[in-house]
Amino acid sequence: MKLKALVAALIATSGLLGMSAAQASDGTVSFTGSVVATTCTIAAGGAVSVTLPPVDASALSSSGKTATPTQFNIVLSGCTAGQQVHAQFEMGPTVDTATGNLKNSGGAGFVEISLLNPAFQAINIATLVNDGAGTGLTTTAGANTLSYFAQYISTGVATAGTVISSVTYSLVYN
């Protein structure tokens, strides 16, 4: 009895194995990449603090209005010359997936923080639009500075209060 069950199980298993082997492939996915040496060190352990100047709520009176673009820098040292590098701002709990801006955890209502690349184009962190190659720089030997901007952006009629957020980033070498 046990032998019949074992033979039946082997026949069923071999049939399943034959089915997977008989399936035809429709294509191939090939992967290429490279491993690069980190060419720069980020100053201050990567921490950057940006203080946006106060803005009157009336300047943010309707959705999409922006105010006070403020430059901030990511300072690099010990760079090897000739590498393309940019900061890639990363998705996380502080990013509004609908707008790609930074959510406000402070008391001001209907206000987010929008990041801008060096060409003053809004960076959508959720989709990486305007955040990537071409927005950084080609390093020179030694110290280099990546410059970006942050600004208030309204999601409705802004109300007064504090604006607080943060975002993580990584250096990406191309």
3-state secondary structure of 91: coil
- What pLDDT does 31 receive? 86
Nearest one of 90, 150, 94 to 118, comparing CA atoms: 150
Say if CB 153 and CB 66 are below 8 A apart. Answer: yes
pTM: predicted TM-score of the whole model, two decimal places: 0.79
Tell me which amino acid residue 111 is: V
Nearest one of 137, 20, 140 to 74, comparing CA atoms: 137
The phi, psi pair for 10, rounded to 5°, reads: -65, -40
Domains and CATH numbers, the chain: 41-173 (2.60.40.1090)
- Give the C-alpha separation, 170 to 89, whole Å: 7
The phi, psi pair for 161, rounded to 5°, reads: 155, -175
Dump pLDDT digits (tens) for 59-115: 999 999 999 999 999 999 999 999 889 999 999 999 999 999 999 999 999 999 999
Dump pLDDT digits (tens) for 77-91: 999 999 889 999 999
- Give the C-alpha separation, 75 to 73, whole Å: 6
What tokens were used for 30?
């090939």
- Give the C-alpha separation, 120 to 32, whole Å: 33
Residue 145, strand partner residues: 75
Dump pLDDT digits (tens) for 114-166: 999 988 999 999 998 877 656 789 999 999 999 999 999 999 999 999 999 99
3-state secondary structure of 6: helix
Beta carbons within 8 Å of 143's beta carbon, 6+ residues apart: 75, 76, 77, 79
Tell me which amino acid residue 97 is: T
